Amino acid sequence: MSRTSTALLIKFLLTLAAAWIAFSLFGATGAFTFVLVVGVVGTIINYLLGDLLILRNLGNIVGCICDGIISILTAYAIAVIYGIRFPATAYILFGVIIAVGEYFFHAYLAKNEDFSPKYESDVLENQKPNFNMEAGEDLGADDNIIVRDLREHSSNSNNTNNVSCNKDTKNQRKKNK
> Per-residue pLDDT for 77 more than 80?
yes
Cα distance between residue 75 and residue 138, in whole Å: 49
Each residue of 97-139: pLDDT tens digit?
Answer: 999 999 998 888 888 766 544 444 444 455 555 555 555 555 5
| Same domain (yes/no): 121, 141 | no
State the DSSP string of 44-56. HHIIIIIIIIIIH
Q: What is the CA radius of gyration of the chain?
A: 26
pTM (predicted TM-score):
0.62
Cα distance between residue 138 and residue 38, in whole Å: 50
| Same domain (yes/no): 169, 106 | no
For residue 170, what are the domain limits?
134-176
If one counts every other C-beta atom within 10 angstroms of the C-beta of residue 94, the result is: 28
| Same domain (yes/no): 146, 98 | no
pLDDT interval class at 12 (50, 70, 90): very high
| Same domain (yes/no): 90, 28 | yes
Three-state SS at 140: coil
